[in-house]
Structure 1
Amino acid sequence: MAAPSVSTIANAKPVVAGGVLRGPLQTPLPTDASTSFDAGMKRLGHVSEDGLAPEGERSTNAVRDWGGDVIAQLQTEHSSRFTFTLYGVFDTDVLKAAFGDDNVVTVGGKSTVIEDGAELPHGAWAFDMRGDGGKKTRICIPDGQPSNVTEASMVAGELQSLTLTIEAFKDGDGVKVYRYYDDGSAASVPLLTSHTPSSLATAGGDLITLTGAHFTGTTAVAFGGTAAGDFTVINDTTLVAVSPAKTAGSVNVVVTNATGASATHAVTYA
C-alpha cells in the first residue's frame, strides 16, 4: 500500500469553459481527460456551488445456508446517476436539456418552451473538471437521460435555476459511465481548440488568440511552417501570437513546447 501523499488527492472545479456538456445520442466522446470534445457537445454554462452530485447505488441480496451463514451476495440492482443545478435559463441549450429539444424554439433571443409530459430524450453527457496542481477529472456518459427535472422558486433574492438528474444507461459495450483521471504529472504537448479572430490578413501582423491547453513553456509557434512574428503565453490555456505573412487560404498552426508539437489547427488567411 502506498504511503499517504497529497499528490493523490484533489478538489473538483469546472474547467474554465464550463463543466457540464450535452450532445445528441451517439456523439463521439473523448477517451481521456484532455482531448477536445466533439463540436456536437454543448457546454451548459454556470452550475451552482453544489457542483456535481453522484447518486448511483448498488443493491445485493444476501444468500444464507441452513446454518444462517451468508454464503453469497447476489447483486440485484445497480444504477449510476448524477445531479446538478444549471443557472443559464436564458440559454437555449440549457432549456433543451431540461425540457426536450423538440419543445424549445428560440428566435432572435426569444425562446418558447412547451411542456407536454413526454419522456426527455437520451443523449451524450459529460462532466469536465479540474483540480489543483494540474489534475483533471472527466466523466463521460454515452447514453444518459434526465430522470428528474426540478425548477427553483422564482423569487427576487435567488437566481432562476433548473436541477437535473441524469440516469446513465449501458452503451453498446455494456458500460454506463467512463471516468478519466489525470494527475497532471506527465508533461503534455500543447492542445489547440479554438482561435480568434476567424481570419487573418495575408500581409501578416495580426494578433491571434489561441486557446487550448498546455501552453506553459511554449518554445515556438508556426503558421504553415513559418514562425510567428512574436508570441506571448498568457496562461496555460491562452496564447497570443503575431501572424506572419501568408497567401490566402487555410494554414495549419502548430504550437511546440519541450514535450513536443501540437496537432495541427487550421486558420484562414483572407
Structure 2
Amino acid sequence: MGKEAIKVERRGAVFEVTLDRPKANAIDNETSRAMGDIFAGFRDDPSLHVAIVTGGTGRFFSAGWDLKAAAEGVRPDSDYGVGGFGGLQELPGLNKPVIAAVNGMAVGGGFELALSCDIILASDQARFALPEIKAGTLADAATVKLPKRMPYHVAMELLLVGRWMEVEEAKHWGVVNEIVPHDQLMPRAREVADLLAAGPQLVFAAIKEVARTAENRTFQETMDLINGGKLATVQRLYNSADQLEGAKAFAAKRGPEWKGQ
C-alpha cells in the first residue's frame, strides 16, 4: 500500500501524518519506506516547523511490524527506508520537533515509533506493550531507548515479559508527557504544535542536535563540540539575527519576532 496507507495534511507550518492502515495500522516494509520519504520531505521543507504523527481511526495507534508479512517470510530487518522503521527513528538530521498523538494501542514498533518523537501526548484509551518476546524476536529500538527513559528494571520487565502498560503507568514513569481525553487528543496536539510552530526554530534545531550528539558522549565531550564550533545548528544559531532579536526582545520586555535567520 505504501503512501496510500499514510494521510498527510499541511496546516500552516504544522505537518500532520496519519498512519491509516486498517485494522491495526501495522507497518510493513513498503509503508515504512513511504513514511521515511514523507518525514524526509518534512525535514527538508523550510516552511514546515513541526510534525504530528498519529494513527487512523480504530483501536490502534500502531501495532508495529506487520506480523502477517513476517508469516509470509518477509524479514523484519530488511529495507525499512531512509528513516529506519516507521520513518523516524533513524532519519538523519531531523532537527524539527515531532509530536506523537497516541490515540490507541501502541504495540511493538508502534511503541517505538512514539518513542522516536520528542513529545508524546496520549489518549486516555492508549495502552503500550512490547510483545516481541512472544513472537521470538527483538524489540531492538525499544531495547536501546526504553531503559534510558524509565527505571531500568521496569523497562526490562516490559521487554522480557511483554506485558501491557496502561497509560497511567506510562505517565507515572514519564514515558508520556500528558494524558488527554480521547476526543481532545488531536485538538491538544494541534495546540502544542501551534505553540512550537511559532517558536524559535533555530533554537529547536540546536536543542535536537545537541541532545542527539550527547547520547553517546560524555558531558565534556559534548560541550567541547559546542564550544569548538563543531555543531552546525549551534553555530548557525549563535550567528543568527534571531539570537540578537531574542536578547533585544528580552531587554525591551516585548515578544520576540522570530525569522528563522
TM over 0.5: no
The TM-score, its normalising length taken from structure 1, stands at 0.26
Q: Which has the higher helix share?
A: 2
The TM-score, its normalising length taken from structure 2, stands at 0.27
Q: Which has the higher strand share?
A: 1
| Structure number with larger C-alpha Rg | 1
